[in-house]
Amino acid sequence: MHPDIKALQDKIAAESFFVKKLTDEISKVIVGQKYLIERLLVGLLCDGHILIEGVPGLAKTLAVKTLASAIQAKFQRIQFTPDLLPADLIGTMIYNPQKGTFTPKKGPLFANLILADEINRAPAKVQSALLEAMQERQVTIGDTTYPLDEPFLVLATQNPIEQEGTYPLPEAQVDRFMLKLSVTYPNRSEELQILDKNTATGLPEVDSVISPKEILQARKIVQQVYLDEKLKEYIVNLVLATREPDKFNLRIKDLIAYGASPRATIYLSLAAKAMAFLKGRGYVIPEDIKAIGQDVLRHRVIISYEAEAEDLTSEDVVQKVFEGVEVP
Amino acid sequence: MAYTITLTWPGEQNRYLIEELAPPLLENLHLLGTKSELSLFQQIRTNYTRKKYELHLAADSIGPAKIGELTINYYDTKTDKSDSFVTPVYEVKVKATSVAGQRFLWFLLAVMILLGLGYVLRFYRRINRPAAETIPTKTLEQQALQKTFALQGQDPKDLLTGLKKILVEYLESKTGQNLTRKTTNEVLASLEGFENGKREILRQVLEECDRARFNPDLIGQNLAKATVGKFNKLLEPEGKELVE
């Protein structure tokens, strides 16, 4: 039974009005980086955490901070270092000598938007504490469990340059991130604008455009975006092609050690719906899936040694999958 | 050749104990190997034992040859007596064995000649074949338009689904590109150089087809027909062809 698409379309047209306002507000501070901002909104609307990989100085922290200001959300930045402890994230019990009791002191995880900077610099125990909070949306301090605020979004960053002395996230943990973004340098004209903004006039103030409550409302609308059966099959075909490429006449079997999990199917569907919502559409088209597909799949397809020997990355392999699977 | 000696007697196999055979004297022949076989059978309710000896012989040269007598010593366990019997001497003549091989070679040669003749005849007929009549073929545009006639009467979703398929096949034939793995935007991006507003018409047709296929409730019959009309206009020859 088809949903009332027309009513949904009108609803989305009304609800997604904030998207343009939000991106315009963020653009006051951030020059370019449309790809990053769009994906941050996808993560926000799908309640999915994001892993960002990019060299220092690309405005990753600034983008997240600006987004937090624009949506009236509480923002916390945590710099991950090798000596970090789990209590530094979740909080701990503090002894009050006057009262003779322990009182909980909540850690920086109790915020809406968390920027976990250089997550691969902290040891596994700290990474696990963060990932557990991401999964459970709650934290236990002492005997008491505290739910985390909604919306709760973790944006973890990794520096692709300095890998010495780091603790790489295991594949199973990386899989918990909905998207993995690869942020690149701005182009020439954007670079000039950045120069002007940061040296001449200074960064402007960002006004709040939408509240966290409205974000939660928008999430419900996103889930209602219509995804046709043909597109569901297309998504499943894409994921299956990473596991059994031979069945899709793709000669990449030797390049893939492990294909994408069912989590990829779920996240790809959700992300495609969010992309359609951002475009003001009540239905998904193949463009939406292809536009977000690389970000959902690049960290879920584990390449083999043979692929590494041929200097191929997971992005190259995912690209071959997209080029080989028929679009409905 | 095989020189076979078969011994048959009524009763069980242990009735007679037969001494191991010594090979006979051979002239112009030599022994390749021996083989013996023991079997039991019944005839008219009487059990019989059969022992067969095979001596495999090969000739040394063409000409006369001789197989000497063979003495078989045996002991009858029933009568508790030993005895022997001797096989006769056989004189044989060894002939040349190349006749069969020569016959095969002649056969092979005949087959090759026949095959060669066949290829020559085929080549001759091909070069002398009259030119086939040229049948006027439809253009790609005409073929695509003809296919759309079969879509008439279908509901908007099926109509525009079929229309997009025809359009993509037409564009693939025209440009030689594989477009089935590309989205609408990618198809448009890979088909640069449209003229006379055809690019805009192509974009509208593709997007309206997508809208019908992935969002069925928004396209009515009128809009579907209008899309087909745009498709027809797209294929109209205007002197400007589709360029990659």
A178 is a domain residue = yes
Q: What phi and psi, each to the nearest 5 degrees, are found at residue B242?
A: -65, 125
Chain A residues 207-246 within an 8 A CB cutoff of chain B:
226, 228, 230-231
Contacts of B215 in chain A (CB under 8 A): 5, 226, 228, 282-283
Q: Indicate if B86 and B149 belong to the same structural domain.
A: no
pTM: 0.70
Residue at which a domain ends, from A165, A184, A212: A212
Q: Indicate if B63 and B146 belong to the same structural domain.
A: no
A78 is a domain residue = yes
B189 is a domain residue = yes
User: In the structure encoding, which two tokens stand for residue A121, read together?
Assistant: 């610099």
Q: Count of domains in chain B?
A: 2
B38 is a domain residue = yes
Contacts of B160 in chain A (CB under 8 A): none
B110 is a domain residue = no
Angstrom CA distances, B176 to A65, A209, B179, stand at 49, 49, 9
Q: What is the DSSP letter of B241?
A: -
A285 is a domain residue = yes
DSSP-derived 3-state class of residue A316: helix
| Closest CB to B185 among A2, A228, A287 | A287
Q: Tell me how many degrees the CA angle A221-A227-A233 measures, rounded to the nearest 5.
A: 150
Q: What is the CATH number of the domain that holds A318?
A: 1.10.8.80
Contacts of B177 in chain A (CB under 8 A): none
Residue B214 distance to chain A (closest CA, Å): 5
Q: Which of A186, A138, A177 is nearest to A156 (CA)?
A: A177
User: In the structure encoding, which two tokens stand for residue B179, read together?
Assistant: 């477009």
Query: What pLDDT sits at residue B218?
Result: 67
Q: Which of B207, B199, B209 is nearest to B242 (CA)?
A: B199
User: A286, B210: Cβ pair inside 8 Å?
Assistant: yes
Q: Indicate if A188 and A243 belong to the same structural domain.
A: no
User: A327, B180: Cβ pair inside 8 Å?
Assistant: yes
Please classify residue B18 by burial: count the beta carbons closer than 10 Å to its beta carbon, then call 0-12 exposed, 13-18 middle and 19+ buried: middle
Q: In this model, does residue A24 exceed pLDDT 60?
A: yes
What secondary structure does DSSP assign to B204-234, as a single string?
A: HHHHHHHHHHH-GGG--HHHHHHHHHHHHHH
Residue at which a domain ends, from A152, A184, A212: A212
Residue at which a domain ends, from B38, B73, B94: B94
B127 is a domain residue = no
CB A240 within 8 A of CB A264: no
B241: Cβ–Cβ under 8 A, 6 or more apart, which residues? none
B198 is a domain residue = yes
Please classify residue A165 by burial: count the beta carbons closer than 10 Å to its beta carbon, then call 0-12 exposed, 13-18 middle and 19+ buried: exposed
Contacts of B210 in chain A (CB under 8 A): 285-286
Q: What is the CATH number of the domain that holds A105?
A: 3.40.50.300
DSSP-derived 3-state class of residue B128: coil
| Closest CB to B215 among A283, A290, A327 | A283
Q: Indicate if A263 and A284 belong to the same structural domain.
A: yes
CA–CA gap between residue B241 and residue B244 (Å, rounded):
10
B185 is a domain residue = yes
What residues form DSSP beta bridges with B57?
Answer: B31
User: A285, B186: Cβ pair inside 8 Å?
Assistant: no
Residue at which a domain ends, from A212, A238, A263: A212
User: In the structure encoding, which two tokens stand for residue A24, read together?
Assistant: 């315009």
CB B153 within 8 A of CB B167: no
User: B213, A226: Cβ pair inside 8 Å?
Assistant: no
Which domain does A187 fall in, by range? 5-212
CB A113 within 8 A of CB A150: no
Q: Indicate if A235 and A188 belong to the same structural domain.
A: no
Structure-token match 């296929």, residue found: B213
Q: Indicate if A68 and A112 belong to the same structural domain.
A: yes
Q: Indicate if A230 and A208 belong to the same structural domain.
A: no
Whether A280 contacts chain B with CB within 8 A: no
Query: What pLDDT sits at residue B240?
Result: 45
B24 is a domain residue = yes
Q: What is the pLDDT of residues A94-103, one digit of tens each?
A: 888 888 888 8
Query: What pLDDT sits at residue B239?
Result: 47
A89 is a domain residue = yes
User: To which H or E segment does residue A128 belong?
Assistant: helix A124-136
CA–CA gap between residue B175 and residue B140 (Å, rounded):
11
User: B216, A5: Cβ pair inside 8 Å?
Assistant: yes
B177 is a domain residue = yes
Work out the average pLDDT over A255-261: 93
Nearest CA in chain B to A9: B218
Q: What is the pLDDT of residues B67-96, one digit of tens each?
A: 999 888 988 888 888 888 889 899 998 887
Q: Count of domains in chain A?
A: 2
Whether A108 contacts chain B with CB within 8 A: no
Q: Indicate if A178 and A251 belong to the same structural domain.
A: no
Q: What is the pLDDT of residues B105-158, one digit of tens each?
A: 888 999 999 999 988 888 878 777 665 555 556 788 888 888 888 888 888 888
Note the residue count of chain A: 328
Q: What is the pLDDT of residues B1-21, one digit of tens each?
A: 889 999 988 888 888 888 888
CA–CA gap between residue B219 and residue B155 (Å, rounded):
10
Which domain does B76 fall in, by range? 2-94
Q: In this model, does residue A43 exceed pLDDT 90?
A: yes
Provide the percentage of residues in chain A whose pLDDT is more than 90. 44
Residue B146 distance to chain A (closest CA, Å): 23
CA–CA gap between residue A86 and residue A76 (Å, rounded):
16
